[in-house]
Structure 1
Amino acid sequence: MQVKTARFGVLDVDRERLLTFPQGMVGFPHLQRYFFVPVPENNLFVWLQALDDSEIAFLMVDPFIFFPDYDVHLSEADCEFLQLGHPDEATLLTVVTIPPDGVRGMTANLLAPVVINVRKALGRQVILDGSGYRTKHPLFRGVPEPARRCACR
């Protein structure tokens, strides 16, 4: 099927690639169907595009690439909701925010990861209450700032 998006133009999307989020994403409960759009020449990130709103797309990343100690314990209710029978059925991603000043300030929402049952194409954004995680964890916390080329006294 042809899907018109604001960010990527018109895309050919196979219906088998659609993901269902019965409760939507946080702040978007009315949008329940999504699909992935790869980021050209960058396999670390992927866009999660809403099927029913061309303006809504979330930049996503595998949080374990940037935060190897990230520790997620899904509740029994979340596992049941997602119909997870085995951990290998789940993919976990986090929403990335790019601030106006550019990619160096990108953050990941570790408090509310997105969990997808890849076998059932079923997703849910879960809130890790009491985890100590926040909505804005810097992705490039160890990257030094570029040297200043000019400074006024």
Structure 2
Amino acid sequence: MNIDTKYHGTVAVKEEDIVRFPHGLPGFADEKRFVLLPLADTPFVILQSAETPALGFILIEPFSYFPTYEFELDDAAAEQLAIESERDIAVYVILTVADPFDNTTANLQAPVVINARKRLGKQVILSNTPYKTKHRLFPEKAAT
């Protein structure tokens, strides 16, 4: 099927590439079908709504940028995602892209967790954590 996207124009995707978010995303409860699209020649990925062309979130895999990032997935989230093994899990965080780009931040408080094998996703809001919604992606280059 073809979908219209925010950053890639019209792209062909297979039904098996769709990641289902049964409860939507916070603030987007009705958006339940997304696809992950690489952003050419970057480490970034777009979480693109399969239904709403203007809805696409820029994501990164956080561990390369935040090597000490860790959290424990609660039992309810693990059950919703039908996780059977850690190998099934892909973790991303949503970026807020700034101008200049060096001021871009990552939301470490609400990672997007995907069961890559079953194509199920959930944005998990962490509580009792030191993580915030805005961590600089490039802290050493922070603008003064």
- TM category (shorter chain) comes to over 0.9
Structure 1 equivalent of residue 81 of structure 2: 82
- Deviation, 1:142, is 1.5
SS in 1 for 2:79: helix
1:141-152 equivalences under 5 Å are 141-143=139-141
Does residue 18 in structure 1 map to residue 50 in structure 2? no
Equivalent of 1:121 in 106, 119, 125: 119
- Deviation, 1:144, is 6.5
Equivalent AA in structure 2 for residue 111 of structure 1: Q
SS in 2 for 1:142: helix
Q: Structure 2, unaligned stretches of length 5 or more? A: none
Identify if the C-alpha distance between structure 1 residues 144 and 136 changes in structure 2 by more than 3 Å, giving closer, same or farther.
closer
8 A Cα contact 2:57 2:95, kept in partner: yes
Equivalent AA in structure 2 for residue 135 of structure 1: T
Structure 1 equivalent of residue 71 of structure 2: 72
Instruction: Report the structure number with the largest CA radius of gyration.
Output: 1
- Deviation, 1:5, is 2.1
Equivalent AA in structure 2 for residue 128 of structure 1: L
8 A Cα contact 2:3 2:51, kept in partner: no
Equivalent AA in structure 2 for residue 131 of structure 1: T
Equivalent AA in structure 1 for residue 65 of structure 2: F
- Deviation, 1:16, is 1.1
- Deviation, 1:6, is 3.5
Give the TM-score of the pair, scaled to structure 1: 0.90
In 2, the alpha carbon distance for the partners of 1:15 and 1:64 equals 29
Identical positions, percent: 36
Identify if the C-alpha distance between structure 1 residues 24 and 13 changes in structure 2 by more than 3 Å, giving closer, same or farther.
same
Does residue 46 in structure 1 map to residue 53 in structure 2? no
Equivalent of 1:131 in 129, 132, 139: 129
SS in 1 for 2:141: coil
Q: What is the number of equivalent residue pairs in this alignment?
A: 144
SS in 1 for 2:87: helix
Q: Structure 1, unaligned stretches of length 5 or more? A: 146-153
Equivalent AA in structure 1 for residue 127 of structure 2: D
- Deviation, 1:58, is 0.3
- Deviation, 1:79, is 0.7
Q: RMSD in angstroms over aligned alpha carbons? A: 1.4
Equivalent AA in structure 1 for residue 59 of structure 2: M
Equivalent AA in structure 2 for residue 80 of structure 1: E
1:87-127 CA-to-partner distances (Å, cap 9, x unmatched) read: 1110000001112x231111000000000001100000001
Structure 2 equivalent of residue 55 of structure 1: 54
1:102-113 equivalences under 5 Å are 102-113=100-111
